């Protein structure tokens, strides 16, 4: 029987956010969704750090609002989380900027397509022919290509020959 105390709910929320974020990050195929999932996961991680400082029945660590000697929560994790949130903001802003340039270069944010194009561009920049590609057909051509002049001539049965793609 899981006791539904405050502790369980808070920890479940924090860890749930981290898990949802990590799931989205590793299972997603679209770069923007991965950045958003990272954002959720970071929020969960920060929540986990803040929870590390909680004390039951204590007040916020500001002097002058309660009688001196009242129990206060741990201020150190809050300072750590301040730093961590700002770090997350910086990284995400930079990620969005890079995403804009990726879209401008390749016209898509689909990760599989982008990795394919990136590998192709890297090989071309180095002057190496690509031997492995998940998009290129494997094996030999089954039929010889149709010569250029023989276009739009229906054969004996009446089918048109297909356009030759040069």
Contacts to other proteins from residues 74-133, by CB under 8 A: 74-80, 82-84, 86-87, 89-91, 93-107, 114-115, 117-118, 121-128
Binding of other proteins by 48 (CB under 8 A): yes
Distance CA 120, CA 127 (A): 10
Q: Count CB neighbours of 83 within 10 A.
A: 10
- Per-residue burial over 54-78, b = 16 or more CB atoms within 10 Å of its CB, e = otherwise: eeeeeeeeeeeeeeeeeeebeeebe
Size of the site for other proteins (CB under 8 A): 77
- Between the alpha carbon of residue 106 and those of residues 10, 100, 122, 128, the distances in Å are 42, 10, 14, 21
What does the alpha-carbon distance between residue 71 and residue 55 come to, in Å, rounded to a whole number? Answer: 8
Q: Interface with other proteins by CB under 8 A: which range of 54-62, 141-149, 156-164?
A: 54-62
Residues 30/115, Cβ–Cβ less than 8 Å: no
- Contact between 102 and 94 under an 8 Å Cβ cutoff? The reply is no
135 binds other proteins (CB under 8 A): no
The verdict on 36 binding other proteins (CB under 8 A) reads no
DSSP assignment letter at 132: -
Q: Binding residue for other proteins (CB under 8 A) from 30, 59, 61, 160?
A: 61
- Closer of 7 and 161 to other proteins (Cβ): 7
Nearer to other proteins, 90 or 136 (CB): 90
Q: How far is the CB of 140 from other proteins (least distance, A)?
A: 23
Q: Minimum distance from CB of 155 to other proteins (Å)? A: 39
Minimum CB distance to other proteins smaller for 122 or for 146: 122
């Amino acid at each position: 029987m899981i006791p539904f105390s405050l502790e369980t709910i808070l920890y479940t929320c924090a860890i749930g956010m981290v898990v949802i974020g990590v799931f989205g990050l590793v299972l997603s195929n679209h770069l923007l969704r991965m950045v958003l999932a990272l954002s959720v996961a970071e929020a969960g991680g920060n929540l986990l750090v803040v929870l590390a400082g909680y004390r039951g029945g204590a007040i916020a660590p500001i002097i002058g609002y309660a009688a001196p000697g009242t129990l206060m929560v741990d201020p150190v994790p809050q300072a750590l989380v301040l730093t961590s949130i700002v770090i997350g903001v910086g990284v995400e802003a930079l990620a969005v900027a890079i995403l804009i340039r990726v879209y401008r270069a390749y016209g898509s944010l689909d990760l599989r397509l982008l990795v394919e194009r990136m590998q192709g561009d890297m090989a071309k920049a180095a002057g190496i022919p690509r031997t492995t590609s998940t998009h290129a057909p494997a094996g030999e051509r089954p039929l010889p290509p149709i010569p250029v002049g023989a276009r739009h001539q229906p054969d004996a049965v009446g089918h048109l020959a297909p356009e030759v793609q040069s």
